[in-house]
Each structure stands twice: as structure tokens, then as C-alpha cells.
Amino acid sequence: MNDSAKDAAAADSLPESGAAASSATGLSRRGLLGLALGGGVASLAVGVGAGLSGGVALGRARAEADAQRAYDFFGAHQAGITTPVQEHLHFASFDMMPRTDREDLVSLLQDWTYAASRMTQGLEVSATGAVGGDAEVPPDDTGEALGLTAAGLTITFGFGPTLFENDEGDRYGIASLRPERLERLPAFLGDDLDPQTSHGDLCIQACADDPQVAVHAIRNLSRIAFGRAKLRWSQLGFGKTSRTTSAQATPRNLFGFKDGTANILADDSVALDENVWLGPDDRPEWMVGGSYLVARKIAMRIETWDRVRLSEQNTIIGRDKGEGAPLSGGDEFAAPDFGTSAIDQNAHVRLAHPDQNDGIRILRRGFNYVNGNNDLGRLDAGLFFLSYQRDPAQFVSLQRRLSTDRMNEYVTHVGSGIWAVPGGSKPGSFVGADLFA
């Protein structure tokens, strides 16, 4: 950080000043006020994800290489969807503050765009940074990422159903532009959702190969939101549970099985257009190039699972735990043969596979989580499931299909949310600008 050349280059692509965009040289006055007053909004710990590194030389070498990556915030699609999945996540949901208006929402999105476009390049949240400016006021940047690289940071924004219409009506003048598909997910068999860790007007997904970089992003975006939006809930994640490029090896979840073998990959443009991105014929027009994000916090009964014999674990999943191959034979990437009895009728791989669901596919981008222990002394751990799809009905159909999944004995869905993720923004504009055009 504190690289003047990078700072100047980044400034060329930041939002322009004026009524419709943030200043190219800094945050709005509301954003600066948030940085000065909002220190208590997000006193967030790095958490367990920071301490769960493998420690082997190969892992360190890979981490060092990943840390050098920087992804542009601007583009046709928001980064953080098909971007190679990073190792760490900080996900945050926000609610707009009471009595805020359209101008407050627009200015917040402008300020968030300005800050995100800088942080994803390894720069401080504003040009004055953590050690510049007036020494008698809090610094703009909290400073814990000073000296760190961008670490592949991506920041992805989404709009929840309640942003468009809530108890106060059409507060922001956008109710008529609410996507018809953007509805709270229906109840599913076995749900035990905590409303305190579900839903939200806005969401931010920050992914990075350094957990401190991801936490720094959410911490500073929370400060900027002070007075306009408040943090509703957040979740740290580590150890990706899916891959989005063929160069990435299939990772494992906390049950020890490879996860995301059949995920949609970034170079499969046909599958992305069919299953992930909204196209020119989709409505509303402001969502073209975007997608729908579903988040599900899935608690795993780790200790119970760990007492299940290996053969039964394989049967429940429908794959070999070691190689990840389907029980019908072949290697990890062999097509499962559902015509044989080798794969149980209620095995996870059978119920979730596109061949058993009219070809329905989603792009997965999940992470493991461990939030310490619960009152019984057991690990509070599981999967923070994230998926992107062109239509939320894709997820709903798959989740209903999984109602007889044998794995349900060992998992409970405890958190949920859905957000419309607009397409990427252009330099000089801000995320979601077409919604307010």
C-alpha cells in the first residue's frame, strides 16, 4: 500500500464528481463523516479463519503467489462471481437506517464504489489513507492492511427484497423496478432459520487470499455507511468449498469430501450465459449482466458425522471420500452412472446432479466456517453456502429436490438470504447506477 504510482493510476478509473457520482479524489462528506464517527460500527475480529493455514511449504508458496493478484473492480460483471475463488471470505448484510432517502442510498453506493475500487487495487480506502490528513481527527483508513497487497480482493454488492419496498413503503422510489424474481426464499423442509443472521437490504461479499484484507474491506465499508446503513449480520469463511477455474483443485468441506466437482467454471461462457448471467432479454433492464445471489448458513453436526463409518459416509454422499469419484466408478470427473444401484437413491450426488434436475445448474462459491463452540461444547461449524444463478427458481428447485437427501440428518440450514447482484459498473459510475438512471 501507499504506492503513489498505483494511487494515481487508480484515481483515473474512480467515479467522477457531481450529483450522479462520487468525487474522483475522495469520499462524499457523508462518507468522510462515517469514517470519523463510525469506528464502533464494525469492531470486527479476524476470527478463526486467520489461524487455519496449512503451514506446508507448498501452501505458503501458493499463498504468496495469490497475494500478488489484483482484480479490477470495474467491468461487464461484478468481480467475485467467476473470479478464481479465494481462500477467505467476509460476508456482511446491512439494513438502511430509518428515515434515510433516495439521496442517502445513492451517495452510499457511490462512496462504496469509490472505496471498493481502491481497496481491490491494494490502496487505502481514500487518498488520505491511514496516516495522512489531519492528525486531530480519526484517519480515513483503519490501517490494519497497511503493507499488505491486494491479496486478490474482490468486493461484490447485492440488493435485497426489502430495499425496494418495506414497512415504510417505497422509500427510495425504486419499487416499480424491483425484479419479479427477487422474493424471499420459501421455507424448506428442515429449515431452522435465525432471523438475526438472515436477510438484509444490502449485502457485501469480500473475498481475498489474506483474511485481514477481507476483514479490512468490510470494516471500512461499514464505517463509510455510518448514519446511512448499519451492519445487520456478518460471517467469516475460510477454505473455499468450490472452484471456479479448471486450474483450481477441487477443495473439501468440513465433512472431508471434495465439494463443487461439477461447478460451472469461468471459461464455460455458454453455461454462464444459460445459468448465471441475466441477458438482454431479461427484465428488469438494470439487471442485465447481473445475477441473483443466494446465501445459506448450513450448520454441520461435526461430532455426529465423525462417528459414522467410512462406507456409510460414502453412501450418503455418493462419492468416494478419498478420490472424490462417483461410486459408480471412474475418477473424480467421471459422469455418475445413475442407472446402477451403486449410488443410493437419496445420495447427495444423485439428488443434486443436473442430470436428475432437468439440467439445472448453479455457480457455487461457498466457504467453511467455525464460530467457536456452542453451549454443548461442540463445534459451531459448517458451510457458508453461496450460489449465483440467473433465476432464483434454479436454487429453489434444487433445494426442494434435496428434501430427501440422506445428508440432512447431519446438517441444518440456520441462515438465509437472497440479493439481486447488478452487473458491473464502469469507471466514472457506481454500482447499481442503472437502477437510479
The pLDDT profile of the chain, 437 residues, written as one tens digit per residue, is 444 444 444 444 444 433 344 445 567 877 776 776 655 444 343 333 344 444 555 555 555 665 568 999 999 999 999 999 999 999 999 999 999 999 999 999 999 999 999 999 999 999 988 888 889 999 999 999 999 999 999 999 999 999 998 777 799 999 999 999 999 999 999 899 999 999 999 999 999 999 999 999 999 999 999 999 999 999 999 999 999 999 999 999 999 999 989 999 999 999 999 999 999 999 999 999 999 999 999 999 999 999 999 999 999 999 999 999 999 999 999 999 999 999 999 999 999 999 999 999 999 999 999 999 988 889 999 999 999 999 999 999 999 999 999 999 999 999 999 999 999 999 999 999 999 98
State residue 90's pLDDT score. Answer: 98
Of 356, 344, 353, give the one whose Cα is nearest residue 318. Answer: 344
State residue 177's pLDDT score. Answer: 97
Q: Which residue has the cell 447506477?
A: 433
DSSP 8-class letter at 252? B
| Contact residues for 216 (Cβ-Cβ < 8 A; gap 6+) | 119, 142, 144, 145
State residue 83's pLDDT score. Answer: 97
Q: At what angle do helices 29-37 and 102-119 cross, to 10 degrees?
A: 70
Of 202, 209, 10, give the one whose Cα is nearest residue 97. Answer: 202
Cβ atoms of 388 and 81 within 8 Å: the answer is yes
Q: Cα separation of 163 and 402, whole Å?
A: 30
Q: Cα separation of 72 and 120, whole Å?
A: 7
User: How far are the Cα atoms of 43, 143, 410 from residue 139, in angstroms, in the given order?
Assistant: 15, 8, 47
Nine-digit cell string for 417: 438470504
Domain range annotation of the chain: 4-191+199-239
What sections of 74-164 are H helices per DSSP?
102-119, 161-164
Nine-digit cell string for 25: 479524489
Task: Give the type of residue at 231.
Answer: L
State residue 375's pLDDT score. Answer: 86
End-to-end CA distance of the chain: 35
Nine-digit cell string for 120: 481491490
Question: Could you give the angle at the alpha carbon of 429 between the alpha carbons of 66 and 175, nearest 5°?
Answer: 110
| Contact residues for 398 (Cβ-Cβ < 8 A; gap 6+) | 352, 357, 360, 362
State residue 36's pLDDT score. Answer: 64
Nine-digit cell string for 10: 487508480
Nine-digit cell string for 92: 456482511
Coil, helix or strand at residue 144 = coil
Cβ atoms of 197 and 297 within 8 Å: the answer is yes
In DSSP terms, 234 is beta-bridged to: 92
Q: Which residue has the cell 491511514?
A: 130
